[in-house]
Amino acid sequence: MFDVGFWEILVIAVVALLVVGPDEFPTLVRKASQALSKARQFASAVKTEFQREVEKAEEIKRKIEQETRIAELHKMLDPRQMELPVDNDPRRAAPSTPSDADTSAQASIADQTQSPVVTSSDHKHEPTQKS
């Protein structure tokens, strides 16, 4: 903790013995050693608490990263977020009734020939005029 060698401690002890006196010196040493012991315990407790808080912070960081990955996976799997090709062409839709099948087939033939398709309901029994 402190960079104090043997000779420095010896000089401090001699000065304390001369200042305090031989009667009070043993109690002073006892109190100093108790204070030093309490300071070491306090430093150890602070170090342990600091390490515990750092571990908690790292755990929170790991959980945030994990939640971020999970959110990204949910976003990828969310059907509202998916972009699927949607075929909105009603002519290609599966017919639900036989009459729809006829109309669908006629529409696809009309697309291929580029000419209008005349259905039986469009025919009227009127004479055609020739010019």
Give me the average pLDDT of each 10-residue run along the chain (131 residues): 80 89 90 95 97 97 95 79 60 55 54 51 53 49
Q: How high is the pLDDT of residue 55?
A: 97
Q: How high is the pLDDT of residue 70?
A: 92
Distance separating alpha carbons of residues 86 and 3, to the nearest angstrom: 77
Q: How high is the pLDDT of residue 3?
A: 77
> What is the CB neighbour count within 10 angstroms for residue 80?
5
Cα–Cα distances (Å) from 12 to 31, 39, 91, 129, in that order, read: 15, 19, 103, 134
- Which position has the token pair 């994990």? 66
**Residue 106 and residue 120 in contact, taking contact as beta carbons nearer than 8 Å:** no
Locate 27 and state its tokens. Answer: 């109690």
Distance separating alpha carbons of residues 106 and 108, to the nearest angstrom: 5
Q: How high is the pLDDT of residue 57?
A: 97
User: How many residues in total does the chain contain?
Assistant: 131
Locate 103 and state its tokens. Answer: 């109309």
Distance separating alpha carbons of residues 55 and 95, to the nearest angstrom: 63
Amino acid at 7: W
Q: How high is the pLDDT of residue 115?
A: 47
Q: How high is the pLDDT of residue 125?
A: 52
